[in-house]
Amino acid sequence: MWRYTHLMNAVYPIAAVADLIGEPARAAILVALLDGRALSAGELALLSRVSAQSASGHLSKLVDGGLLSVQNEGRHRYYKIANPEVGHALEALGAISTAPRNSLQPHPREVSALRHARTCYDHLAGRIAVELTKALESSGVIRAHGERDYELGKKGPVWFAKLGIETEPLRRSRRAFARQCLDWTERRPHIAGALGTALCSRLLALGWLARQPNTRALRITHLGERELQTRFGVTTCMSK
């Protein structure tokens, strides 16, 4: 059995990744790190509800499999998602693994908060992200490029510059410029890649968004509510 599994993983590398993600404790660890933070083994053991010894084994496999990276700081080791592509893949898996829910059924408050606005590794996700992306497309700031990417429209460079984002250095980075990331709760795309990261960081710096402790859900500030409504026609009220 081991030889068969080893052969299948060698021929189909996706099987090895699926095996890593498919274990519930490892999946919980990966989801806990989707906000881009680096957490210790002890914190991840608590979040995944396994013993410290078990968490250590899972973390070792995730690092060896290239899904996590680890950094030593004194006596402690901190783990984080290895690269943006891993975060992008996990968000995409969420979109195909969760069946649409009856909109008449109420969502727990913490789930509603994540559906409303959250970080997806290092960029903005949730209903707000999808509506913002739609508004930017409608106004000609960005446009779809193929099936996986966005590119700037004619208004794009000037619009982002006014917001405080210089797009040319982002184009020169080694990372994909602007990706279409399928939002797992909305099942419509939001902006990922270098541009998505810069946009999320800028909205946080402007005070339109605020991080909440111990969650990747984001809070829309009063300033953000006004600016998103005025500039983009994006309503920020959270559905009940």
Gap between the Cα atoms of 114 and 185, Å rounded: 9
Domain boundaries, the chain: 2-82, 87-232
pLDDT digits over 86-127, tens only?
887 887 777 666 555 554 444 556 678 888 999 888 899 999
Residue 178 has pLDDT above 90, yes or no: yes
Using a cut of 0.75, tell me whether the model's pTM lies above it: no
Q: What is the mean pLDDT of residues 132-147?
A: 94
33 burial type by CB count under 10 A (0-12 exposed, 13-18 middle, 19+ buried): buried
Strand-pair partners of 209: 220
CATH class name, domain 2-82? mainly alpha
Token pair, residue 15, equals 């099987």
